[in-house]
Structure 1
Amino acid sequence: MANCKMLPRVSRRLVAFDFDCTVVDDNTDTVVRDLLPVDKFPSDTIIHKQGWQEYMADVFRRLHKQCYSPQSIRDKIRGIPEVPGFVRLLKRLHQAPENKYDLIIISDSNTIFITEWLEAHGLTNCFESIFTNPAYFDNDGLLHVRPYHHQTECKLSASNLCKGKILEHFVAKRNLRDNTQYERIIYVGDGHNDLCPVLKLRQGDIACPRRDFALDKKITAHRDKMDLRADIIKWKSGFELLKQLVERDATLDDGDADEPKSESTKQ
């Protein structure tokens, strides 16, 4: 008979990150679109009638027609700055004692943009999984992006990607496959489409909206009408977020959590 011995129960923590305007300090799609002259942008009518993915598909066709190579697009992505302190934050969580944090990305960007940027910053190995829209360059160098999935159930999310559903499925899969239980889930994001996963969080979990961005504004304006059980940590930089997470888990602290002072203010 096959060995059906149950794996020992493992207790860990999960940190799920959005990508655009959360890890990187810009929107990867619009950064690439801006390679085009403004008068060559597709019409916004495409967004209203067909959606953002169709709009970006037209952007990629126009870039290809203008002879932008795959490498020029990759280079543009690699040059996007981090949200200050996020490279440090991600490495600190990944290197936490006892390896107790799993890191994932859930993003409406695409596989090429995200993996390119992570590779440029030495972060590829920090993540357990990346959930985003599949992308590839064809033999002619044209970029294609496919929907991650098709969904109609969640009205808070786009039809091509529901972050809340992805988060739930990942947690359930780890529980069933690896007997891993997440004692705490931390969700870090900035946008409207990050509200769905935030509302999936339990009491004792932590929602981390970027201060003064869409997610923060929506929570602030409507929290009394939401079934929001998680604690809230607002942040402006990775340095600030790390400092607040250290206050809840001292094992993350190596004495280097504070934001570096500029040369003019150092004593």
Structure 2
Amino acid sequence: FFHAPPPEGPPKMSSSSTTNNSRFLMFFDFDETIISENSDNTVVNLLPNQQLPSWLLDSYREGHYHEFSGKITAYLADQGVTKDALLSAVQKIPPNPGMLDLFRFLQSHQQDFELVVVSDANTIFIETWLEHNRLGHLFRRVFTNPSHFDDSGRLVLHPFHSHSCPRCPDNMCKQAILHEYVAVREKERGGVGFQRVFYVGDGSNDVCPTRALGPQDTAFARRDYPMHTLMMEMQQSESTKIKANVVPWVTGADIEDYLGNIMKER
């Protein structure tokens, strides 16, 4: 159900003694949040004419983006885009402005922050990018769609889980992941919860998890992206549904400034 790194992988952010004492839990989306692009769009640019055929584009169904992503990777392989070309393109995706500084800030306060990625991308893209940018060790867990290269060099994607949430795509409800992770960690920490939970995202599928946040928590919504627009609409129409503070961000510096102020409160 959960994607865990192999046991022989790099050491995680901190030893169990400090992991269990983190005051804050922070979730990050990946595409257009940590990185400045959608990784699927990036790899499409590897095609000779840099676009998908209309029959493939027309096959997209609302709420089935994951299935569509699998068709993209199959098509790329059919067109001769190699595994190495794919990985190289993903490595070169720039981070969003200020994100690397934000991660330096979080690393300098790693006893206070436990970091998790929750993304509708896939394991190969996310792990490739994080390792290339030497950020993998900062994240305690990566929740995303499992993926692997088959013998022909095609990137095969699998759905993360199934769920009953009517608001989310078939393969992933980020609120279900958040709920379960928080419950598991609280148990592992001897019944001690986190003082605050932060969620950083940009897309429409980042709204559902923020419904689970409490008044002490914060949803960082990328300004003028779907998550921000939808949350602004929700706050006007159903103010009771979102209890968390909603903080729009343009660069990682906006998030760092906010967290810096919280660190001063102690």
Normalising by structure 2, what TM-score? 0.85
The superposition leaves residues 225-247 of structure 1 with CA deviations (integer Å, 9 ceiling, x where unpaired) of 14111112111000122112212
Q: Any residues of structure 2 matched to 1:77-226 within 5 Å, and which?
A: 77-96=90-109, 99-151=111-163, 153-179=164-190, 180-224=192-236, 225-226=238-239
| Aligned equivalents of 2:128, 2:260: Cα separation in 1 | 29
The superposition leaves residues 27-82 of structure 1 with CA deviations (integer Å, 9 ceiling, x where unpaired) of 01121123222254652332128922232222222211222111100011111111
The superposition leaves residues 137-178 of structure 1 with CA deviations (integer Å, 9 ceiling, x where unpaired) of 012211101000012x21221110000010010000011123
Answer whether contact 1:41 1:59 (CA < 8 A) is retained.
no
Answer whether contact 2:21 2:112 (CA < 8 A) is retained.
no
> SS of the residue aligned with 2:200?
strand
Answer whether contact 1:137 1:144 (CA < 8 A) is retained.
yes
Q: 1:101 deviation in Å?
A: 0.5
Which residue in the other structure is 2:40 paired with?
A: 29
| Aligned equivalents of 1:191, 1:83: Cα separation in 2 | 15
The superposition leaves residues 76-109 of structure 1 with CA deviations (integer Å, 9 ceiling, x where unpaired) of 1111111101112123213306x11100000000
Q: Where in structure 2 are there 5+ consecutive unaligned residues? A: 1-16
Identity %: 30
Q: 1:135 deviation in Å?
A: 0.5
Amino acid of the residue matched to residue 237 of structure 1? T
> SS of the residue aligned with 2:161?
coil
Moved over 6 A (4+): none
| Aligned equivalents of 2:169, 2:157: Cα separation in 1 | 15
| Aligned equivalents of 2:166, 2:203: Cα separation in 1 | 15
Amino acid of the residue matched to residue 91 of structure 1? R
Which residue in the other structure is 2:56 paired with?
A: 43
Q: Where in structure 1 are there 5+ consecutive unaligned residues? A: 1-6, 253-267
The aligned length equals 243
Answer whether contact 1:156 1:195 (CA < 8 A) is retained.
no
**Gap change, CA 1:84 and 1:50, over 3 Å in 2:** closer
Q: 1:10 deviation in Å?
A: 4.2
**Gap change, CA 1:83 and 1:49, over 3 Å in 2:** closer
Match of 2:245 among 231, 234, 237: 231
| Aligned equivalents of 2:261, 2:63: Cα separation in 1 | 45
> SS of the residue aligned with 1:200?
coil
| Aligned equivalents of 2:22, 2:100: Cα separation in 1 | 25
| Aligned equivalents of 1:194, 1:136: Cα separation in 2 | 25
Which residue in the other structure is 1:70 paired with?
A: 83
| Aligned equivalents of 1:53, 1:215: Cα separation in 2 | 19
The superposition leaves residues 177-232 of structure 1 with CA deviations (integer Å, 9 ceiling, x where unpaired) of 23241110001101110111111001111111011111111111221314111112
| Aligned equivalents of 1:200, 1:119: Cα separation in 2 | 30
Answer whether contact 2:44 2:52 (CA < 8 A) is retained.
no
Answer whether contact 2:22 2:113 (CA < 8 A) is retained.
no
Normalising by structure 1, what TM-score? 0.85
Answer whether contact 2:210 2:242 (CA < 8 A) is retained.
yes
